[in-house]
Amino acid sequence: MSPSPQAFRPYWALLPLMGLYLATLVQLFAIQGLNREKAPEDPTSVIARSVELNAPRGSILDRNGHVLAEDRAVYDLTIAYTLKNRGLYTNLQKEKLTLEEVEEAIAFLAEAARMPFEEMYEALMVNNSAVQVLRKNLGPADERRIRAAISRVSGSGLVLRPRYERVYPNGTALAHVIGLPKPPAEIQPKDGEEPSLGSGMERGLQSRLLGTEGQRKTMGVSRDFGVNPALDMQAAVPGENVLTTFDVGLSAFARKELAAMMERKPMTNCMAIVVDVKTGDLLTAIGLPDYNPNDPTSTLTETVNPVSGDAETSGWVFPAKWYVEPGSTFKPIMAAYALDQGAIGASLEFSNFNGRYKVPGRKEIIHNEKVPNVPMTFREAIIHSSNIVFAQIARAVGREAMADMLDALQYHEDPFYVEGLSIQFSPRHQQKREKFFKKRSPDGMAYTIPTMGYGHGFQVNPIDHAMVMAALANGGELMKPRLLLDQPEISQGQIFSAASAALVREAMNAQANYRGRDKYLKHRDLMDICSKSGTAQIDYGPDKGKYYSLFTAFGPYEDPEVLVLVIATGTEAIPGTGDGHFGIRVCGEPADAILYRALVERGLAQDEEPPEGAWIDASAPLDSRPVEDRLGVGNR
């Protein structure tokens, strides 16, 4: 019985491989026979070669798809062969080419590479090193031009080596939170210390951004004869592109406003945090001083710590990492908490004691400055920012509830991270609970309690503080700060009743519209907002005796969507002027401008023609060269 056709199928399956083998033999004979003048001297130079294929790191994108960080292909023009393996050199030695022909070829290559003839001649015909890098960081346009020239000059020894370079198209905008895959040399650990793993989202999103390296196995044919078709190919897999909640255009605008604020007033650092109050999305989180991630080495500066005398790298640390004293920006929070505790009613009035309030049983006196000496409800106390009224409100709340307050508002008490961001934020800082119950006066009320009522005597992290203020704006719900658009919105519960939050919002709206505030809230007539300023003296560290200056605003009043918190640390009072450190005078103008920009973009504020240069289009290229010729500049 004759074998069935199925029995021969395994042999048929080998035919493609046999064809490839025969084709390779034909090519080898052709090289040795038809191209005898240029044939390899040693036929055994046909070898298998494995080439690693780099995988580009994934891009970090803003909420609108604009690039915050990406890998771009760049090329290095190198020489990978010694003199004896370079065709131009050996053919000249063997008199197969004349000196004029060699010089003509080198001139052609030099022009394509944009190099002086003398440098190219030295590299190709004199230097025996097989590890020469002639030009670095070439863009795609350069690569196409040079590769075409190399293909026309056989045996030059020139090779274009591709690699990926991490670039940050928007420069300093969001530098702290974007971070770097590895820190610059200035802040690398000293000998014996643990190696640093980078910063910001570059570190926090590492597992998602990293790609998978590939490999190509090829049959290389000696010198002039190129590479045969791939024997095996495993393509590199790029890393994942990640969409964040940030708005890079708003961030670039906010940074410009902060820079202008630092020009107007002396301060150590400053920051702006912008939150979508309904979702918890961080629209921007920036601080100054900062650095340019495209060139951190020259944009980070060394300063000396005035307390320790140690050298520090200025600009590397995000100022929002540390806690601050909230000052009078805490008064609306205190009011909502007191209303919900039943400690006060909306119409309950408190005396202002002629601007001097002596806490019963204590020596300390609480002062008001430029506050009308009339009885006030919490609403009027927010408008006029009365320390004396809020000291009494805190006392009305009582020791037990005041001791529990920061926990009830869910301020962090341990270091914390925002998902996707490797920055460790410092927790709140306040006196230990037992301090609240140590009797310090006949009625047992510690001095900490009344001072906490107007935002003194404790510290909170700026991110935490912005989220609690956002809860006032959205009706009392505390949202978890969100950095990644593919993560769910997370509610951490109702920390204020909707009724109390509404009463406080109305008071903050009246505060924003009170006479004289238009000097700092220049867009007040174009948007209906709520606001509160704050000031607190710093009593520790290198800025001891200076101030925290704060201003927060959100809007639109009827249905808030966006909150802005601007903080300056290390501000200084200017003697005789009452200026230089008060929250609205330092931070009011940039907070107003940032909020207006955000609301106009959402169609929630009356538009006006902006002054020339006031708007920053982060998607526009930063110079006029073609995109492929720009390395690290502009968006694709």
pLDDT (0 to 100) of residue 438: 83
pLDDT interval class at 186 (50, 70, 90): low
pLDDT interval class at 189 (50, 70, 90): low
pLDDT (0 to 100) of residue 633: 30
Whether a cis peptide bond, with omega within 30° of 0, leads into 621 is: no
pLDDT interval class at 628 (50, 70, 90): very low
Encode pLDDT of 205-221 as tens digits: 999 999 877 665 555 55
Tell which wins on pLDDT, 230 or 70: 70
SS3 per-residue string spanning 298-325 = HHCEEEECCCCCCEEEECCCCHHHCCEC
Encode pLDDT of 7-50 as tens digits: 334 443 444 444 444 444 444 444 343 343 444 444 444 455 55
pLDDT interval class at 444 (50, 70, 90): confident
pLDDT interval class at 617 (50, 70, 90): very low
Mean of pLDDT values over 360-388? 94
pLDDT interval class at 443 (50, 70, 90): confident
pLDDT (0 to 100) of residue 78: 95
pLDDT (0 to 100) of residue 32: 42
Encode pLDDT of 508-525 as tens digits: 999 999 999 999 999 999
User: Is residue 558 predicted with pLDDT exceeding 80?
Assistant: yes
Residue (of 218, 341, 282, 290) closest to 62 by Cα position:
282
Mean of pLDDT values over 142-158? 93
Exposure b/e, 508-540, CB count within 10 A at least 16 = b: bbebbbeeebeebbebbeebbbbbbbbbbebee
Mean of pLDDT values over 422-426? 95
Q: Provide the CB-side half-sphere exposure for 301 (13 A, CA).
A: 6
User: Is residue 621 predicted with pLDDT exceeding 60?
Assistant: no
Residue (of 388, 395, 385) closest to 355 by Cα position:
388
328/324 Cα distance (integer angstroms): 12
User: Is residue 227 predicted with pLDDT exceeding 80?
Assistant: no
pLDDT interval class at 503 (50, 70, 90): very high
The proportion of the chain whose per-residue pLDDT surpasses 90, expressed as a percent, equals 67
Residue (of 427, 174, 194, 456) closest to 325 by Cα position:
456
pLDDT (0 to 100) of residue 57: 92
User: Is residue 3 predicted with pLDDT exceeding 50?
Assistant: no
pLDDT (0 to 100) of residue 23: 44
Mean of pLDDT values over 181-197? 72
* Contact between residue 239 and residue 58 where contact means Cβ atoms under 8 Å apart: yes
Compute the mean pLDDT over every residue in the chain, rounded to the nearest whole number: 85
pLDDT (0 to 100) of residue 24: 45
CA distances from 319 to 113, 287, 463, 578, 634 (A): 45, 6, 11, 26, 27
104/118 Cα distance (integer angstroms): 12
141/628 Cα distance (integer angstroms): 6
